[in-house]
């Protein structure tokens, strides 16, 4: 018998970020990948992060998780929240220097 409670719809608020989720982040000048560790009203903190100077074809990057160039960070990456747009990353985070 189906539940009488309707499932909650995912949030469509563009300001919503999920701690623990992996992202490909777009800023005005750079692309990054990383796992969101902390989200404050002004900053986003990513771990296992990398600067992605070149994705190659974006559609291929998103479907395969392959990037042309990768510069992993040793420490966490802190970005200003107001400059970030992102898409969920469904692959292993790139960590190999390319």
Question: pLDDT for 38-74, tens place per residue?
Answer: 999 899 999 999 999 999 999 999 999 999 999 999 9
pLDDT band for 16, please (50, 70, 90 cuts).
Answer: confident
CATH number of 22-88: 2.30.30
**Interatomic CA distance for residues 81 and 5, integer angstroms:** 34
Inter-CA distances, 34 with 48, 63, 74, Å: 5, 17, 12
pLDDT value of position 11:
45
Nearest to 48, CA basis, from 73, 65, 27: 73
């Amino acid at each position: 018998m189906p539940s009488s409670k309707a499932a909650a719809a995912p949030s469509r608020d563009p300001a919503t970020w999920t701690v623990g989720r992996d992202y490909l982040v777009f800023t005005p000048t750079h692309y990054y990948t990383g796992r969101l560790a902390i989200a404050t009203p002004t900053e986003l903190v990513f771990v296992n992060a990398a600067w992605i100077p070149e994705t190659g074809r974006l559609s291929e990057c998103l479907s395969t998780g392959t990037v042309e160039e990768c510069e992993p960070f040793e420490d966490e990456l802190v970005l200003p929240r107001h400059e970030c747009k992102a898409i969920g990353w469904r692959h292993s985070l790139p960590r190999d220097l390319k």
